[in-house]
Chain A
Amino acid sequence: MTSEPRPSRFADQVASLGLSTGLTAPSPEIIDEIQRGRVVDALAATAVEHGYAGVTVERVLRHAHMSARTFYALFDSLEDWGHAAYRDLGCRFQAALEAAWRREDEWPSAVRAAIAAGLAFAAKEPVTAQFLAVEVRAGGPEARALQAASIERLAAKLREGRSRCHGVAAPNRFAEWVLVAGLVSLVGDRLLAGRPHELPALEPELVELALAPCLGAEPARRLARG
């Protein structure tokens, strides 16, 4: 009796990335994606090291071990590249939060899961998180607008909880936006102080702060600490 050859798990994973197991070279699109990812990560690291104002093409290329020719084939300008970095890294962060959010059915649990995911992301990728939370503010109006839009997406998730404000006065029109900005800034301060390892322990506090305006202090405390 002959058995079907079992597909290799590695081969499946490689194939799912659009790569091959070595018989053919990756497509130019895949190579561009990889190069772009390297530049984006290098930009974040350079901004964290020198401040956004200190980001130059030379510094980033040195970080990325890449030639100027390759860089200019991917991006038109330093500005174009800064925005691409914020979008790419911001999407990575947002995806982590949204995946955690979707796993929960109830709004308070979803808030808690998203905060835990955000803190875990920042602890695991402190350079990326510091770039998104702190450095990008020095990146000009368009970079700040991208950051404001990210904060608004998170604030909108918190605003969904207003339907739960039974017996508690609803907060003012932009309370959630200010709250998210405060939480992001709190995380940014820990990162600037070089203490990313402390972030996951902040979860119960941040959850309580996020839930309290809608649920009231005591229920928020119970849920956050429970």
Chain B
Amino acid sequence: MLAHGERAPAQLRFLLVDAQSAGSALRAEQRRAAERLSAALHEGRAEDEDAAELPPNTEEMLIAALAWVVGCRLLDGESPAPLEPELVEFTLAPYLGVDEARRFAGS
């Protein structure tokens, strides 16, 4: 996602931000994309006993948070790429714990 934002920031901005207020059809499309990403993250629940008991909307919240932060950077005309380590850590922490997520993210 971040690499795509580097290559085509306007496109990513459209997907993450503008589509939200562009009518119900585009919003539904955006929701389906978020659900696919949520399903991929959901697999992380198998990594740890605690992760298996995470609240049901955890993945939706994580995807929404990433989209929000990356969207904000793009709206401000800044590259979201430098945030990669922190965003990876934030996304993995519920599944691996902060220490392991940080090690993996290299942040």
Contact = CB atoms under 8 A, between A and B. Distances in A.
Contact of B65 (A144, A148, A170, A178): A178
Contacts, number: 102
A33 to B, nearest CB: 30
B90 A178 contact: yes
Given A53-B21, A182-B65, A217-B50, A192 B27 contact: yes
Given A134-B21, A170-B98, A209 B68 contact: no
A213 B21 contact: no
Given A51-B22, A169-B98, A178-B90, A186 B61 contact: yes
A10 interface: no
A137 interface: yes
A7 to B, nearest CB: 50
A189 interface: yes
B97 A182 contact: no
A213 B65 contact: no
B57 to A, nearest CB: 5
A16 interface: no
Contacts of B71: 137
A135 B18 CA distance: 10
How many residues of A sit at the interface, in one of the four size bands?
A: 35 or more
Contacts of A170: 98
A208 B89 contact: no
A226 interface: no
B12 interface: no
A186 B56 CA distance: 12
Contact of B93 (A171, A182, A218, A221): A171
A138 interface: yes
B103 to A, nearest CB: 10
B64 interface: yes
A57 to B, nearest CB: 19
A181 B65 contact: yes
B60 to A, nearest CB: 6
